[in-house]
Structure 1
Amino acid sequence: MTLTEEPAEPTPQTRRQLPSFLVIGVLSTLFYLGLFVAARWFTNPQAANLIALAVSAVANTAANRRFTFGVVGSQGVVRHQLQGAVAFLIGLGLSSGALALLDVAVPHASRVVEVTGLVAANGLATVARFVLLKVWVFRTR
């Protein structure tokens, strides 16, 4: 893009998909955080993060498959979940990194501080997830 070009406008399809993606994202984040807090009762932050993120990522991909991108039926569901696993790995890297950084910066941080760090990491992962789902997993052929 040159200095005189206007930034590209989102397509009408993207504008229709964003509200659904945002609602699913908020619900998935709340589900993930609830699972994380519950798992922290019996395990360390990294293991709790892995458990919570793995469960919520499968649910998130399934919900976005159906409601954001309008894919119904069982055809391609395994492929979509495997492709969604890439977004899971990005989210795991960001959230695990945030927890590791937090452990160094604030040893023995409270659950509130852990959750705050995870919310920030999850926000970055959400942007990556939408881009991956839109341009790779559920791209229109």
Structure 2
Amino acid sequence: MTATRSAERSPAAPRAGLRRQVTRFAAIGVVSTAVHLGLFAVFETLGMGAQPANAVSLVIATLGNTAANRWWTFGVLGRRRLATHHGQALLVFAITWLASTAALAILHARDPGASTTTQTLVVLVANAVSTAVRFVAMRSWIFRAR
């Protein structure tokens, strides 16, 4: 089987290297968070509203995050199980989305006129809280060695 038709493991990211996985996951997470927060701020500033801006920007960032972690962090190559991996990641996405949605709802209840900067910081904190859950889900469920 070729790498394009199977879900082979890449030698670039061996399954056993927890430290390497955490480091790579963190690097991808920083980039994904920057994309999420940047898009959120742009969409919110353009009048989309905080909750829709959060949902749209988080979906975009999650798709990129999953693809990058699949290849670089967990060393999965090829198209085999690609749709399944993205589907599972979207289920995990729900955790992040619920955390950030709840955080924004609490902020808006306390400060209905919160600035885009304040809203963006609240989304950042909510993302930080859900990051550990995402890593464990990716390592133990989505990209576990079969």
Q: Which amino acid aligns with 1:80?
A: H
Q: Which amino acid aligns with 1:27?
A: V
TM-score normalized by the length of structure 2 = 0.87
Question: How far is the alpha carbon of 1:112 from its aligned partner?
Answer: 1.1
Aligned pairs, how many? 131
Residue 8 of structure 1: aligned partner: none
Aligned equivalent of 1:104, options 94, 103, 109: 109
Residue 93 of structure 1: aligned partner: 98
RMSD: 1.2
CA contact (8 A) 1:87 1:125 kept: no
Residue 5 of structure 1: aligned partner: none
Question: How far is the alpha carbon of 1:12 from its aligned partner?
Answer: 5.4
**Deviation per residue, 1:62-83 (Å, 9 max, x gap):** 0000000000111110000000
Q: How far apart, CA to CA, are the structure 1 residues paired with 2:124 and 2:75?
A: 27
Other structure's SS at 2:59 match: helix
Other structure's SS at 2:17 match: helix
Residues 1:132 and 2:137 are matched in the alignment: yes
Q: How far apart, CA to CA, are the structure 1 residues paired with 2:16 and 2:82?
A: 26
Residue 15 of structure 1: aligned partner: 19
Q: How far apart, CA to CA, are the structure 2 residues paired with 1:34 and 1:116?
A: 11
Residue 80 of structure 1: aligned partner: 85
Other structure's SS at 1:32 match: helix
Residues 1:60 and 2:65 are matched in the alignment: yes
Q: Which amino acid aligns with 1:87?
A: V
CA contact (8 A) 1:80 1:137 kept: yes
**Higher relative contact order, structure no. (Cα contacts within 8 Å, ≥ 6 residues apart):** 2
**Deviation per residue, 1:14-37 (Å, 9 max, x gap):** 112011000000000000001101
